[in-house]
């Protein structure tokens, strides 16, 4: 029982990137030299010996291929290059946010124009805009006012955005989402 607990709670080591040198457990590998030349399928031990001869490591590049593809390269340089590629991809990524603009069915024209101007600014930056019209008390009986306001918003926004989510009721509020063209 005590032995079971010892093994059960033993710390697990996480995978430390690609397999290299003696951690490669395939009997044969496709080898690419340090200058990018394809050396063909070789015995794993031979490939490791070739890498050691050059003072480099044998790194498994494509482990799912048959046989696995390995490259002779310095492991530190390889990990650095992989990290650089990941950072570059992350930098190019555009995160789209959802901005919300809240209105009432009795919103005055000046306030409406101000909110539409802000929505256009958000959409021009590449964000989506969620319009919410809240109904209080007996305003819910006049839902046609919400429909008219949503149609007016659609008309004002059709130049720089398109409707992603058509106007619909969600409890006591009406919502619509507009995304950039």
pTM over the 0.85 mark: no
**The predicted structure's pLDDT at residue 8:** 65
**The predicted structure's pLDDT at residue 1:** 47
**The predicted structure's pLDDT at residue 113:** 93
Q: Tally DSSP H helices, then E strands, for the chain.
A: 5, 8
Whether residues 108 and 174 share a domain: the answer is: yes
**The predicted structure's pLDDT at residue 10:** 65
Distance CA 50, CA 58 (A): 9
Whether residues 23 and 65 share a domain: the answer is: yes
The string of pLDDT tens digits covering residues 95-104 is 788 999 999 9
Q: Which of 84, 83, 81, 31 is nearest to 57 (CA)?
A: 31
On the question of a cis peptide bond just before residue 42, with omega within 30 degrees of 0, the verdict is no
> Is-contact 67 30, C-beta < 8 A?
yes
Distance CA 19, CA 51 (A): 14
In a domain, 1, yes or no: no
List the chain residues with pLDDT less than 50.
Answer: 1-2
Give the domain range for residue 132: 98-180
**Last residue within a domain, chosen from 31, 55, 85:** 85
Whether residues 135 and 103 share a domain: the answer is: yes
**Last residue within a domain, chosen from 34, 50, 85:** 85
In a domain, 3, yes or no: no
Whether residues 153 and 79 share a domain: the answer is: no
In a domain, 33, yes or no: yes
Whether residues 71 and 143 share a domain: the answer is: no
SS3 content of the chain, % helix, strand, coil (to 5): 40, 30, 30
Domains of the chain: total: 2
Positive or negative torsion for Cα 169, 174, 175, 178? positive
Whether residues 173 and 105 share a domain: the answer is: yes
**The predicted structure's pLDDT at residue 123:** 92
In a domain, 31, yes or no: yes
């Amino acid at each position: 029982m005590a032995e079971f607990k010892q093994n059960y709670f033993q710390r697990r080591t996480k995978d430390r990137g690609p397999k290299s040198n003696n951690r490669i457990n395939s009997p044969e590998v496709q080898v690419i030299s340090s200058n990018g030349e394809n050396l063909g399928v070789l015995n794993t031990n031979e490939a490791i010996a070739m890498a050691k001869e050059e003072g480099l490591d044998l790194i498994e590049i494509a482990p799912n291929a048959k046989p696995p593809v390995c490259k002779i390269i310095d492991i530190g340089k390889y990990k650095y290059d992989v990290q650089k590629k990941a950072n570059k991809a992350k930098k190019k990524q555009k995160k789209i946010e959802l901005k919300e603009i809240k209105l009432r069915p009795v919103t005055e024209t000046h306030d409406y124009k101000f909110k539409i101007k802000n929505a256009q600014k958000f959409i021009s930056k590449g964000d989506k805009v969620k319009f919410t019209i809240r109904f209080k008390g007996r305003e819910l009986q006049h839902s046609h006012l919400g429909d008219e306001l949503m149609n007016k918003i659609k008309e004002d926004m059709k130049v720089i955005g398109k409707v992603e989510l058509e106007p619909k009721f969600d409890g006591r509020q009406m919502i619509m989402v507009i995304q950039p063209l």
